[in-house]
Amino acid sequence: MADPLHQFQVKPLTPALDFGEVTLPVVGQVHLAFTNSHLAMTIGFLLVVGFLTLVTSGAKVVPGRTQAVGETLFGMIDGLTDSIIGHDGKKYFPFVFTVFTFILGMNLLGMFLSFTATSQLAVTATFGMITFLLVVIIGIRKNGLRFLKLFWPTGAPLVMRPIVGLIEFFSFLLRPLTLTLRLFGNMMGGHIALKVFAGFVATAVIGAAGWFGVLIFPLALGMTIGLTALEFLVAFLQAFVFAVLTCIYLNDVVNLDHAH
């Protein structure tokens, strides 16, 4: 049976775009090349841009089908930023919408390609860090030193506050990690499970399991079909969860004074 982890292998696509090992000043030795991961990101990017162009270029007051789909996504994220962040939400809408559409595009693309960009830790970590750094930068720019109030739990008894505050601080630092691992784990896990069950189907079909394959085949095929449907749901849900958490984290620092 094929190795289910093989699909996560990052490899340079053409020797023409393979620049080999390079030693960079701070990051050290890296392999610069246009890999399958880059290709998946590019297709995902082009899909999102193409879709949004299609939706908005001929936008009419009475929407057609494509426009209705785009407007649903748009309205969903708009409602999210509006309800979670409040009246300042409009300002952060483009960021949340970018995160949402880009992750959704790459997640869904993973259902059609043999490579899923969002199952790469490097990719999800980048999303996690972009969101985290944006939250920190906005927090400090908007609130200055009062940004630290985020870790000062006014609801807790005075004696407990430093301890709870410390916990709050560490949980804040863990946010990019949880964002990263949630998306990464969901996408990778789903694709591994799909590959494993699809592998069982292949094993049964080529007769490697003997007559036992007759029993395995329908079960494994059913699981593969069910998991495929589930993975489409997960692809959407994880993009949405990432967007919701981004909104919640932004709300923490944007409405620092009114919150709690």
Partner 1 sequence: MTVQDTSVPYADAPAPVALEDTHATTEAAHGGEHESGGLPQFEFQHWFGQIVYLIFLFAILYWLIAKVFAPRMRRVFDERASTISTAVETARQVQAEAAGQAEAAKAEVEQARASSRATAAAAKARVTDEANARAAAEEAVVAARIAEAETAIGKTRDAAMTNVSAIASDTAAAIVERLTGKGPTAAEAAAAVKGAA
Least distance from C-beta 118 to partner 1, angstroms? Answer: 10
Q: What is the rounded CA–CA span in Å between residue 219 and residue 82?
A: 45
121 touches partner 1 by CB under 8 A: yes
* Per-residue 3-state assignment (H helix, E strand, C coil) for the chain: CCCCCHHHCCCECCHHHEEEEEEECCCEEEEEECEHHHHHHHHHHHHHHHHHHHHHHCCCCCCCHHHHHHHHHHHHHHHHHHHHHCCCHHHHHHHHHHHHHHHHHHHHHCCCCCCCHHHCHHHHHHHHHHHHHHHHHHHHHHHHHHHHHHHCCCCCCCCCHHHHHHHHHHHHHHHHHHHHHHHHHHHHHHHHHHHHHHHHHHHHHCCCCCCHHHHHHHHHHHHHHHHHHHHHHHHHHHHHHHHHHHHHHHHHHHCCCCCC
Among 49, 166, 167, 214, binds partner 1 (CB under 8 A): 49
119 touches partner 1 by CB under 8 A: yes
For the segment 72-91, give every residue that binds partner 1 (CB under 8 A).
Answer: 74
Q: What is the rounded CA–CA span in Å between residue 224 and residue 177?
A: 30
60 touches partner 1 by CB under 8 A: yes
Least distance from C-beta 31 to partner 1, angstroms? Answer: 4
Among 84, 104, 108, 123, binds partner 1 (CB under 8 A): 123
The stretch among 115-123, 148-156, 196-204, 207-215 that binds partner 1 (CB under 8 A) is 115-123
The stretch among 57-65, 195-203, 219-227, 236-244 that binds partner 1 (CB under 8 A) is 57-65
5 touches partner 1 by CB under 8 A: yes
Among 85, 109, 188, 227, binds partner 1 (CB under 8 A): 188
For the segment 9-48, give every residue that binds partner 1 (CB under 8 A).
Answer: 9-12, 20-21, 24, 27, 29-33, 35, 37-38, 41-42, 45, 48
Least distance from C-beta 119 to partner 1, angstroms? Answer: 7
Interface residues toward partner 1, by CB under 8 A: 3, 5-6, 8-12, 20-21, 24, 27, 29-33, 35, 37-38, 41-42, 45, 48-49, 52-53, 55-57, 59-61, 63, 70-71, 74, 93-95, 97-98, 101-102, 119-123, 125-127, 130, 184, 188
